[in-house]
Structure 1
């Protein structure tokens, strides 16, 4: 059997892999992408996209209950969970088929099957028809990650769910326990709580949304509690007693253990990289805690072998994976791309209220020895927020007091996942407090709060 030859082979067709493949093809490379399950990866099929579709349904449902506030009438408000899930799956299918179309349009060879790396520059793919052999000077690992499972807390798809089960629920939760309050955990807690489930969130760290600025976490917690959620911080789920119709969770907090009875548990305790079964050890690839060790250009210790996205470590974000894919494709094609700066990648959480951030938190900036200036502005001081009926939220900016550099920005409130990009561009262009203060923001918009939060760092906020 003659091996098919390519310039670049990408293993995994998620937001890192398919973007790398398309960019490589645009640059004139002969590219193959190997995918074992579905084009678009977890992000399009079981992650970012379907969760946003679910959360949109929850948001509309929440607004329907507020109709009277807006002078509107809505009676007999209800929902059909099966129809909500069906819409979410349709959105995913539409986008996944779009990825197939884009790969075809760019003349990327797609091989569906399980890949291994038998030797440097070689990929063996186990397909329905047997094993195919592919060769290339450059190989890109984009195999992604999966949910971490803790002993005793493993998902069974019945009463204990992973994120996948939560996206296509076998039953409707009425009493829900969510283990972990990172983006995945808090988004599902927000979705099911809005639909009426009595929701408890357990976080082992000292606060929920532990990667966010402490002030933002505290604000979000207050809002979640207002919505009826129970938040338990510095707490650990020690054991789950499973029955046919319920789960009894043993929760340890402050030296005491108590039991909580629920009908559904969602485990969202992090992710592990898909590094097994590829033959990485034999090739001499360094793996540290389920993630491939790479340099700033995503190069592994093996010449011609790259790793991008979740498999290459944090931050575990689709947009980081896509950007790394473009960078590696340009490198392979002989270009000179800039390495990615992790501090310029924004994180977004689509709970209600939304949370978004970029750069250093106030605490981290102080730890790093910066002398800082901090600005804050609340949604209640913004005309557009009040007109929208969304006056709960805040924007916080952190500047280097000496140079005026924007070190970080942190937000909680309506539409902040869209607003954050303004600060992303600012950090990318290495903007300063002075330049942002001189920028004219349109009125009436939520973005004006970004301006006021900058002005506030100098005690110059106008509307608060």
Structure 2
């Protein structure tokens, strides 16, 4: 007979394990099934390892620029990639141990194996049983509610096969034991530009091939253009409006054949990174047997993350919303609140911060350039980090804060930041949007000096042409 729980969570990524903890807090008996490592993509093959590598490159860059801070170093600073990778692995392991501790603390039973939702039967009018294929045999567990949080994986182009040897995904790049001399990156979205920044700083010759007319196609054009200029300064070559046709591979050099208008462009590199997005993990979950509706974009859910089968919910990258770890976490918390309490607020995705960890960093929230509609008729304020004292001290004067407000209501509708620590500062914009604040309220709030976040205050004041330091 199947072991009985109140909730079975399928997937132990950030969204899945956070939902499991919240369910325990609400008095539920919870089981969680994970077939790989706890922490999912973000911890093991995405956010955390990428940012760990990025920190090493940031330190390397600061050391190389130490003379501008009045410091003289003797000898060359050479990156030790094996040591960098070892530091990354140690961080991942520590966080994995932390999740395991949280599972025990919150009395969540963890099953390691592949989960399949079983269909209905005469004994079960709703699909409520999950078969888990473990190394020691199959186990069946059952609950009134199921939550699918199986995440996503890298996608490729129809005519390109990722072999994690010559043609890599982000997973393969993060697992490299040694760096190639050159890398062609297909795709100039978030994953592509972040890894381009890291590899370039470590001495890899990087070329980005982007199908659309700008880097970061979902970001505003002004920021994308600034990033392009920064990349060119750093020696990163970028081909925009360029479509990859085929990739020829051999032992030493790979050749990416692409087209820009009618011009044929061939890019040679030791390795190729495919960074053209991610696709949801839908296969072999038993969705068809359970009657759950889905498309190639993901599982279909309502505003409470409930599928057409009312006792099955889905969150994170497996549904067609923003593919961000902090989004998956919030979706998981809201889904559990709805299934337990019968009610929960809906997530306003316009209030979700979007972050890109390049150099300089890029972050935005709400509606910004290229996303502000005519109905909004936004007025804007801007403050450049060139006029910020802390940015001068940090040697990080590139970029700006830009604020967007509705002319009719004076409400804040968006904030865009490009500069050092932009991903930390964007939280102020998210809070302001959530509280329905106006730029005037941000400007009137006393900000500490000297700090980078003063630029947010000044940009808010600039909406009314009242900025002090520009």
TM norm. shorter chain > 0.5: yes
Query: What is the TM-score of this pair, normalised by structure 1?
Result: 0.98
Cα contact 1:15–1:40 (8 A) shared by 2: yes
Cα contact 1:148–1:269 (8 A) shared by 2: yes
**1:104-115 superposed matches below 5 A:** 104-115=104-115
- 1:360 counterpart = 2:367: yes
Residue from 304, 308, 316 that aligns with 1:309: 316
Runs of 4+ in structure 1 deviating by more than 3 angstroms, as ranges, are none
Q: Match for residue 20 of structure 2? A: 21
Q: Match for residue 205 of structure 1? A: 212
Q: Match for residue 452 of structure 1? A: 458
Cα contact 1:159–1:264 (8 A) shared by 2: yes
Cα contact 2:82–2:177 (8 A) shared by 1: no
- 1:398 counterpart = 2:404: yes
CA distance in 2, matches of 1:37, 1:361: 38
Between stretches 269-278 and 323-332, larger displacement belongs to 323-332
**1:281-296 superposed matches below 5 A:** 281-296=288-303
Q: Match for residue 180 of structure 2? A: 173
**Alpha-carbon displacement from aligned partner over 1:3-28 (angstroms, at most 9, x marks no partner):** 00000000000000000001101111
Residue from 149, 155, 161 that aligns with 2:162: 155
The structural deviation recorded for 1:404 is 1.0
CA distance in 2, matches of 1:44, 1:6: 27
Q: How many residues align?
A: 462
Cα contact 1:158–1:170 (8 A) shared by 2: no
The structural deviation recorded for 1:434 is 2.1
The structural deviation recorded for 1:333 is 2.1
Between stretches 334-343 and 93-102, larger displacement belongs to 334-343
Residue from 414, 423, 428 that aligns with 1:417: 423
The structural deviation recorded for 1:170 is 4.3
- 1:379 counterpart = 2:417: no
CA distance in 2, matches of 1:88, 1:439: 38
**Alpha-carbon displacement from aligned partner over 1:285-313 (angstroms, at most 9, x marks no partner):** 11122400111110100011000011012
Report the secondary structure of 2:341's partner residue.
Answer: coil
- 1:190 counterpart = 2:189: no
CA distance in 1, matches of 2:77, 2:248: 36
CA distance in 1, matches of 2:212, 2:388: 33
The structural deviation recorded for 1:456 is 1.4
Cα contact 1:213–1:361 (8 A) shared by 2: yes
Gaps of 5+ in 1: none
CA distance in 2, matches of 1:21, 1:335: 17
The structural deviation recorded for 1:371 is 1.4
Cα contact 1:173–1:192 (8 A) shared by 2: no
CA distance in 2, matches of 1:199, 1:363: 28
CA distance in 2, matches of 1:378, 1:437: 16
Report the secondary structure of 1:124's partner residue.
Answer: strand
The structural deviation recorded for 1:335 is 5.7
- 1:408 counterpart = 2:428: no
Report the secondary structure of 2:256's partner residue.
Answer: strand
The structural deviation recorded for 1:55 is 0.3
Report the secondary structure of 1:462's partner residue.
Answer: coil
CA distance in 1, matches of 2:168, 2:47: 17
Q: CA RMSD in A?
A: 1.1
- 1:93 counterpart = 2:100: no
Q: Match for residue 124 of structure 2? A: none
The structural deviation recorded for 1:332 is 2.2
Q: Match for residue 260 of structure 1? A: 267
CA distance in 1, matches of 2:311, 2:342: 15
CA distance in 2, matches of 1:80, 1:385: 29
Between stretches 339-348 and 168-177, larger displacement belongs to 168-177
**1:41-52 superposed matches below 5 A:** 41-52=40-51
Report the secondary structure of 1:294's partner residue.
Answer: coil
CA distance in 2, matches of 1:347, 1:287: 26
Report the secondary structure of 2:373's partner residue.
Answer: helix
Q: Match for residue 438 of structure 1? A: 444
Query: What is the TM-score of this pair, normalised by structure 2?
Result: 0.96
Report the secondary structure of 1:357's partner residue.
Answer: strand
The structural deviation recorded for 1:190 is 0.4
Residue from 228, 231, 236 that aligns with 1:224: 231
- 1:54 counterpart = 2:53: yes
Between stretches 257-266 and 332-341, larger displacement belongs to 332-341
**Alpha-carbon displacement from aligned partner over 1:69-94 (angstroms, at most 9, x marks no partner):** 01112232111111111111111111
Report the secondary structure of 2:459's partner residue.
Answer: helix
Q: Match for residue 389 of structure 1? A: 395
Residue from 344, 352, 374 that aligns with 1:345: 352
Between stretches 22-31 and 327-336, larger displacement belongs to 327-336
Cα contact 1:349–1:417 (8 A) shared by 2: yes
CA distance in 1, matches of 2:203, 2:135: 44
CA distance in 2, matches of 1:107, 1:52: 31
Cα contact 2:82–2:178 (8 A) shared by 1: no
Cα contact 1:275–1:290 (8 A) shared by 2: no
Report the secondary structure of 2:171's partner residue.
Answer: helix
Cα contact 1:179–1:201 (8 A) shared by 2: yes
